[in-house]
Amino acid sequence: MNRCFNCKKESTEIILDLGESPIANNLETDLDESKNAKKFPLSLRKCKTSCNHIQIGNIIDQKEIFSDYFYMPSFSKTLTKHLQEISSDLNKRFGIEKESLIIDIGSNDGTFLESTRQYTNKILGIDPAKNLATIANNKGINTLNSFFTNDLAKEIREKYGKAKFIVSTNTFAHTPEINDFVQGVKNLISNEGVIIIEIHYLGSMVNDNSFDTIYHEHFSYWSLENLNNLFKRYDLNIFDASIIPVHHGQLRIYISKNKNLKKTKSFKKILEIEKDEDLIGNKLNSFCKNVNKIKKELVDLLEKISNEGKKVNGYGAPAKASTLINFIGENNLEYIYDRSELKQGKFIPGTSIQIKNPDEIKKDKPDYIFLFAWNFTNEIIDDLKLNYNFKGKIIIPIPNLKIITI
Ligand SMILES: [Zn+2]
């Protein structure tokens, strides 16, 4: 279990222990099954060689995690808009021509590819979740229901040719087979093509104290420095990088085989900051120490609310809600509201907390709402005020505990 996904040596060590947690996205329909959901150790490991790779402590079979998937960007206006902007950005910057093949790895319900149809019909999605691939294919977005591997990349190249653009948002960290993935995109991209990867960024996690983004489906936790070393090994050139506000600071990188593309200022700046701050050294170490302090603050607050006889329910049931709840305990949380119909009626794995339609807020009248989807704070507060007439206190747990009254 101490084998590094990146350099493949037996050289990793635990740096943060979050106890045990079930698979975060496997929402249960049955209360007993939810309470008895199988839990796995959840921790973060770091490679002790100069590779410095940061990864999850325990590997769970990807098939268990991704075959049926409830996360869909189309449920959030912010995310849908974000994906649409990637395609207009690609077109402006590099030009999408009618014959340009665009491939989306981890294409989910096809939201991104849908926004590229105005430029080209040569689009292909790849997603391992059967339910999502079906939704996308029903919308007319050609989607292969499969994991992305180097073998699949070769098959696609035979059938469709090389891609002008490969886009992969929130997927690259979802595989322990890092080297196979990079070899696959290298085989599939044309010489002048551009690969865009958006990924959960280690720098944001550390800056925001967002330990709740550690869960079993996130296999790797990347700094730009580590990514740069990885792609260099495959003779691929990261020429641009930026930190974008989605998911509270994702890292977007642009990669090409073309060495003539100059590295941007933004790319150099992020690397420089990481080195100055000693991101994968001291800064990461203090983050790990902070996590237990945050847990105590949250448990104390929930206990105080319970002693006052006040009611607290949650809002937003993303995977990170599962990490957070399983780490701090259920306490007095009874329900979590979420707009996704796929999630409603189900339970946060490992708990008896049921997910409800937010329309119920008007009836339940909780005194406090604990915001698990804290990265969408503004969108949710607007919704709570305008659509659900909520008046009360909102607990924002991360980056720093904050209570606001609306
Ligand atoms: Zn390593």
Q: Which residues surround ligand 1, an ion (CB under 5 A)?
A: 4, 6-7, 47, 51, 53
Q: What is the pLDDT of residue 71?
A: 66
Exposed/middle/buried for residue 322 (C-beta within 10 Å: 0-12, 13-18, 19+): buried
Q: How far is ligand 1, taken at its centre, from the CA of residue 103, in Å?
A: 29
Confidence of residue 265 (pLDDT cuts 50, 70, 90): very high
Distance 392 CA to ligand 1 centre (A): 48
- 292 C-alpha to ligand 1 centroid (Å): 27
Distance (angstroms) between ligand 1 centre and the Cα of 226 equals 10
In the CATH hierarchy, which top-level class contains the domain 14-282? alpha beta
> How many angstroms separate the alpha carbon of residue 12 from the centre of ligand 1?
7
Q: What is the 193 CA–ligand 1 centroid distance (Å)?
A: 29
Residue 325: its pLDDT value, please?
95
CA of 52 to the centre of ligand 1 (A): 6
pLDDT score of 67 more than 70 = no
The pLDDT score that the predictor gives to residue 75 is 67
At residue 220, φ and ψ (nearest 5 deg) are -130, 155
Å from CA of 264 to ligand 1 middle: 28
pLDDT score of 392: 96
Average pLDDT, the chain: 93
Residue 61, class by beta-carbon neighbours within 10 Å (0-12 exposed, 13-18 middle, 19+ buried)?
exposed
**Which among 34, 64, 72, 30 is positioned nearest to 322, based on CA atoms?**
34
Prior bond of 399 cis (ω within 30°):
yes
Give the model's pLDDT for residue 68. Answer: 65
Q: Tell how far the Cα of 263 is from the centroid of ligand 1, in angstroms.
A: 26
Distance of CA 190 from the midpoint of ligand 1 (Å): 29
Distance 167 CA to ligand 1 centre (A): 26
Q: CB atoms < 10 A from the CB of 36, how many? A: 12
Q: What's the angle, vertex CA 99, arms to CA 97 and CA 102, rounded to 5?
A: 80
Centroid of ligand 1 to alpha carbon of 53 (angstroms): 5
Residues 6+ apart with CB under 8 A from 355: 27, 317, 335, 336, 337, 338, 343, 344, 345, 346, 347, 348
Distance 275 CA to ligand 1 centre (A): 19
Residue 319, pLDDT above cutoff 90: no
Residue 24 has a pLDDT of: 82
Whole-number Å distance between alpha carbons of 329 and 299: 8
| Mean pLDDT, residues 126-134 | 93
Over range 101-120, report the average pLDDT.
Answer: 95
Q: ∠ CA(396), CA(402), CA(406), 5° rounding?
A: 75
In the chain, where the domains are located: 14-282, 292-405
Q: How confident is the model at residue 77 (pLDDT cuts 50, 70, 90)?
A: confident
CATH ID of 292-405, from 3.40.50.300, 3.40.50.720, 3.50.50.60, 3.60.150.10: 3.40.50.720
Tell me what pLDDT residue 122 has.
Answer: 96
**pLDDT tens column, 323-379:** 999 999 999 999 999 998 889 999 999 999 999 999 999 999 999 999 999 988 998
pLDDT at 76: 72
pLDDT tens per residue across span 40-59: 999 999 999 999 999 999 88
Tokens 């395609």 belong to residue: 87
Give the Å distance between the CA of 5 and the centre of ligand 1.
7
Distance of CA 150 from the midpoint of ligand 1 (Å):
21
Look at residues 195, 325, 208, 306 and name the one whose alpha carbon lies nearest to residue 254.
Answer: 195
* Contact present, 319 and 215 (Cβ < 8 Å): yes
Domain 292-405 in the same topology as domain 14-282: yes
**pLDDT value at 66 more than 70:** no
Token pair listed for 175: 């595989």
User: Residue 197: is its pLDDT beyond 90?
Assistant: yes
Query: How much is the pLDDT for 58?
Result: 87
Cα(210)–Cα(220) distance, integer angstroms: 15
Separation of CA 11 and ligand 1 centre (Å): 6
Tell whether the model's pLDDT for residue 70 goes beyond 70. no
Quote the pLDDT of residue 65.
67
User: What's the CA-to-centroid distance between 137 and ligand 1, angstroms?
Assistant: 38
